[in-house]
Structures are given as structure tokens and as C-alpha cells.
């Protein structure tokens, strides 16, 4: 990137000149990386609300206009016309696969779908009530022990080794997710089948049982593919930023993705889908009306949230929420399901969108408000909702990890801070239990 201009910062009686870069969609960024060297000052930005940590070619997002594009393609178009595995290929490789690449990609995904048999025993050691996200993150980091080719990323592994690790992870995450569900309900594991597509295979591993054979419904397969596409990337969100940050210490791909899974688990991020459904279920069980619930949230002074609403970057609408809501209607109709939670959700949305509290704070439904209704219709239990988000987000995490490692400017990510603690002070006699004579004196170097 070459600078397109300069910005001048006045600090005290001095002016500092900083380069300005422009992205391909016209976004401007002031490069402050030399500011401390020039002036001694750092920038302060709680929650990185206005800080770009990298330049990226993967996803373009305009929160004001509600635009989301993967490698230039609108997400709505990809959701309508492509399949999740193609989108995964697009994100990781930068282009849509041609017919031959699609074929090879599917073969590779099938070839790597099983994991080392010894890893199967890990599942039996988790307590029955273990959250599947805990199992998922632990299993993903464990992959680095069984497939150590990329155990320390030195930067010289070669493209093929990285591609194999990426494919392996994409394929195995689906198997791990389904196995953790089977473990939680005490049913035997169902192994992946080579004759099934990515999404159909996942559904089969989740729901087939020798006692109740499972018929794979193309409507459900298609809806799952759409859901995973909508989750596939979201530029520098919390979990992707975690993958990049942890990856910047040059840990292997599996460890960096495990960090992403842990970040995603949080209720303000991917965990919101489970929270949203639990809220709707609780309302139904306790007879709380949408109006009462909205008032509770408004009166809670920020302690109680309407999960599935609000977003750091989308301030008018989340384009993913629009597609997910349409998909929700389609799936419920095709499967002939009348879900009372859908009615409650619709009423909540309607009330919130007309309420000054939500309007003034630009709070709109995000992807997590309706995704849970589709997942319920598919038979996915609610503690697996965030696992489904992780399955979808994986290609994005891999693409960002890969892009970062290919970037010569990828430095160890190490933010600065503004220290506001006590200034220098010394221990008083009697403050510590150790006698001063026993303590080695710190020598200045």
C-alpha cells in the first residue's frame, strides 16, 4: 500500500505528519504506527472502535449501508447461489473454484474428515454436562498434538502444508462437532460418509442412529448451507481478531483457531444465539409478554440485554439478519413447523424497532436473533448453536490466519496502554511475611 496523502496531528505546540492510506472502497486510514516514536504519545481506543489492525482483501463491510461482501461478492448473492464449501474455498483461496477445483476440494474435505482414532477417547473424559464449545476448543487445540506438521509456525512450511492443515481443520471440525453432540446424548458416534456433501454429512453424523434412521431433507441441507455462508466471515470481529492476535505469536493454526472458538463462545459475540433462544423460551415458560420483557431490558440500565440485537458496526441493519429471517420462514413452512418462539421473536422485533430506547441506540436484529429458530427447526439443541456459528466462521478464521502469515508486515500484536496505577512506592516494614534479610535484593542491571 502506498500512502495517498498525509494527516497532520497537532499535539502541544508541535505538528506531526502521518501517512493516510485509502482502501479499495475509499475508506481512509491514518497510519499512527510511528506516532509514539515521533511524539512520545500513543493512541487510546477502548474496544478498538476506531482502530484498523491490518489491511485485508477478504471481506468488505459497510455498517452504515448494511453491506457485506466476501472477496467482492455480496453475501446475499452467495447465500442464494452458492454452497458453503464453495464460499469456504473462496474465502481461503481468494477465488470461486472452477469445476475441477470444486471436485478436488470436495475430495480433500472427504479425505480429511476423520481424526486419529485415539482422539475419540477424549470425548469420554468430558463430563456429561460439558458445554460443546468447551469440547470443541479443547479438541481443536489437541489436533496440533496429533498432526504436528504445523506445530510451530516458522513461516517456511510451504503452501501445501498450510493448505492441508486448513482443509483438515475444516473437515474435522464438522466431525468433532457432531461427535460432541452424540457424546452429550449418549449415542454411538456416526462416522462421516464419502458419498454425502459437507452439510448433509454433518446432519447425518448428528442425527442418524441405528434405532432411528435419519432421512436427509434437502430443504434442511440448503438452509444449513445458507446459515454457514452467512457466518463464514465478518472481517475483524472479536474471534477473528483473536485468531490474528494469537497467531501473531506464530502459534500453529489449530491453537490460533482454538482461541477464536473461545472468543466466539462469549454471549456478546457468537454465544448470543443461545442466549436469544433461552430468553424466548423463558418468556414462553413464565408467561412474560414481549412488552414486559422489553420494559425489563430498558429498565435494567444495561445489565439485561436483548440478545440478538445491536452490533458494533451495523448501525442500520445487518444484511445477514434479513437473509436469515427469510430462510427462517422458508424452513418453517417447508417442514410444516409452527414454532411459538417465532411469533414471540417477531413481536419482540416489532416492539423494539418502534421503541425510542432501541431507535436512539441504533439497535437492530443481528444474525443471532433468528438463527436459533432455524437451528431449532433442524433439531439442533441450543447448547450446539454457538458450535454451528463456529463451523460457519471457520473458513474466515483460516483465511485471516493465512493472509496474516503471507503479509510481510505481520508483526507480533502487542497493544500499548495508558498506565493509571500508583506511581513508584516501596514496601513498608511489616507489609510482607518474608523477613527482609531472606529476600534477594533486586540488582539493577
Given the rule CB under 6 A, which residues bind ligand CMC? 47, 234, 237, 268-270, 272, 297, 302, 305-312, 361, 363, 366-368
What does the block give as the cell for 244?
490474528
Burial 325-349 (b: 16+ CB within 10 A, else e): bebbeebbeeeeeebebbebbebbb
Residues labelled as active-site residues: 311, 368
Other beta carbons less than 10 A from residue 429's beta carbon: 6
Are 115 and 171 within 8 A, CB to CB?
no
Q: Provide the minimum distance between the beta carbon of 219 and ligand CMC in the complex, in angstroms, as a whole number.
A: 25
Q: Provide the minimum distance between the beta carbon of 209 and ligand CMC in the complex, in angstroms, as a whole number.
A: 32
As a 3-state breakdown, the chain gives helix, strand, coil percent values, each rounded to 5, of 55, 5, 40
In the bound state with ligand CMC, the residue whose beta carbon lies nearer, of 82 and 366, is 366
Measure the CA–CA gap between 369 and 379, rounded to whole angstroms.
17
Measure the CA–CA gap between 431 and 265, rounded to whole angstroms.
41
Q: Provide the minimum distance between the beta carbon of 320 and ligand CMC in the complex, in angstroms, as a whole number.
A: 8
**How many distinct helices (H) and strands (E) make up the chain?**
18, 6
What 8-state DSSP symbol labels residue 149? G
- In the three-class reduction of DSSP (H, G, I as helix; E, B as strand; rest coil), residue 397 is classed as helix
**Helical (H) or strand (E) element with 7:** strand 5-11
Q: Provide the minimum distance between the beta carbon of 266 and ligand CMC in the complex, in angstroms, as a whole number.
A: 9
In the bound state with ligand CMC, the residue whose beta carbon lies nearer, of 132 and 392, is 392
In the bound state with ligand CMC, the residue whose beta carbon lies nearer, of 48 and 116, is 48
Q: Provide the minimum distance between the beta carbon of 231 and ligand CMC in the complex, in angstroms, as a whole number.
A: 8
In the bound state with ligand CMC, the residue whose beta carbon lies nearer, of 144 and 236, is 236
Residue (of 292, 258, 293) closest to 397 by Cα position:
258
Are 84 and 229 within 8 A, CB to CB?
yes
Are 404 and 244 within 8 A, CB to CB?
yes
In the bound state with ligand CMC, the residue whose beta carbon lies nearer, of 131 and 320, is 320
Nearest residue (beta carbon) to ligand CMC: 310
In the bound state with ligand CMC, the residue whose beta carbon lies nearer, of 147 and 364, is 364
Beginning with the edge strand found earlier in the chain, give each strand of the sheet holding 67-70 in spatial order: 59-62, 67-70, 73-74
Are 375 and 324 within 8 A, CB to CB?
no
In the bound state with ligand CMC, the residue whose beta carbon lies nearer, of 203 and 368, is 368
Are 186 and 159 within 8 A, CB to CB?
no
In the bound state with ligand CMC, the residue whose beta carbon lies nearer, of 184 and 366, is 366
Q: Provide the minimum distance between the beta carbon of 26 and ligand CMC in the complex, in angstroms, as a whole number.
A: 23
Q: Provide the minimum distance between the beta carbon of 309 and ligand CMC in the complex, in angstroms, as a whole number.
A: 4
CB < 8 Å & 24+ apart, contacts of 87-91: 87/228, 87/229, 87/232, 87/395, 88/170, 88/232, 88/394, 88/395, 91/58, 91/59, 91/232, 91/233, 91/395, 91/396, 91/398, 91/399
Q: Provide the minimum distance between the beta carbon of 198 and ligand CMC in the complex, in angstroms, as a whole number.
A: 22
Give the phi and the psi of residue 388 in degrees, each rounded to 5: -65, -40
Amino acid at each position: 500500500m502506498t500512502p495517498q496523502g498525509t494527516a497532520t496531528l497537532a499535539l502541544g505546540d508541535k505538528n506531526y505528519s502521518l501517512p493516510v492510506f485509502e482502501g479499495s472502497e475509499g475508506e481512509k486510514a491514518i497510519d499512527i504506527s510511528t506516532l509514539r516514536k515521533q511524539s512520545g504519545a500513543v493512541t487510546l481506543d477502548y474496544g478498538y472502535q476506531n482502530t484498523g489492525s491490518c489491511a485485508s482483501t477478504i471481506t468488505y463491510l459497510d455498517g452504515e449501508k448494511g453491506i457485506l461482501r466476501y472477496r467482492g461478492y455480496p453475501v446475499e448473492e452467495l447465500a442464494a447461489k452458492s454452497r458453503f464449501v464453495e464460499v469456504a474455498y473462496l474465502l481461503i483461496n481468494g477465488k470461486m473454484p472452477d469445476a475441477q477445483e470444486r471436485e478436488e476440494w470436495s475430495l480433500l474435505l472427504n479425505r480429511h474428515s476423520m481424526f486419529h482414532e485415539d482422539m475419540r477417547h477424549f470425548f469420554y473424559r468430558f463430563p456429561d454436562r460439558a458445554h460443546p464449545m468447551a469440547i470443541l476448543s479443547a479438541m481443536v487445540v489437541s489436533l496440533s498434538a496429533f498432526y504436528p506438521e504445523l506445530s510451530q509456525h516458522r513461516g517456511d512450511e510451504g503452501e501445501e502444508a498450510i493448505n492441508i492443515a486448513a482443509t483438515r481443520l475444516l473437515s474435522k471440525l464438522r466431525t468433532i462437532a457432531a461427535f460432541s453432540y452424540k457424546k452429550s446424548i449418549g449415542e454411538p458416534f456416526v462416522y462421516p460418509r464419502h458419498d454425502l456433501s459437507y452439510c448433509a454429512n454433518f446432519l447425518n453424523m448428528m442425527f442418524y442412529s441405528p434405532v432411528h434412521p435419519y432421512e436427509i431433507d434437502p430443504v434442511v441441507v440448503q438452509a444449513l448451507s445458507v446459515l454457514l455462508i452467512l457466518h463464514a466471515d465478518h472481517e475483524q470481529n472479536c474471534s477473528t481478531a483473536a485468531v490474528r492476535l494469537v497467531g501473531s505469536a506464530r502459534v500453529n493454526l489449530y491453537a490460533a483457531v482454538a482461541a477464536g472458538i473461545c472468543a466466539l463462545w462469549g454471549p456478546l459475540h457468537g454465544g448470543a444465539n443461545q442466549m436469544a433462544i433461552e430468553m424466548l423460551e423463558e418468556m414462553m415458560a413464565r408467561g412474560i409478554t414481549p412488552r414486559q420483557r422489553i420494559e425489563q431490558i430498558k429498565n435494567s440500565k444495561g445489565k439485561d440485554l436483548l440478545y440478538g440485537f445491536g452490533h458494533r458496526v451495523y448501525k442500520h441493519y445487518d444484511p445477514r439478519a434479513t437473509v436469515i429471517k427469510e430462510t427462517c420462514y422458508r424452513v418453517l413452512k417447508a417442514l410444516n413447523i409452527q414454532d411459538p418462539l417465532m411469533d414471540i421473536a417477531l413481536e419482540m422485533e416489532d416492539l423494539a424497532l418502534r421503541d425510542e430506547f432501541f431507535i436512539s441506540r441504533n439497535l437492530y436484529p443481528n444474525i443471532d436473533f433468528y438463527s436459533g429458530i432455524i437451528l431449532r427447526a433442524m433439531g439442533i439443541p441450543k447448547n450446539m448453536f454457538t458450535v454451528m456459528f463456529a463451523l460457519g466462521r471457520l473458513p474466515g478464521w483460516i483465511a485471516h490466519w493465512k493472509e496474516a502469515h503471507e503479509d510481510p508486515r505481520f508483526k507480533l500484536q502487542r497493544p500499548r496502554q495508558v498506565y493509571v496505577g500508583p506511581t513508584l512506592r516501596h514496601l513498608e516494614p511489616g507489609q510482607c511475611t518474608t523477613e527482609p534479610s531472606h529476600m534477594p535484593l533486586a540488582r539493577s542491571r
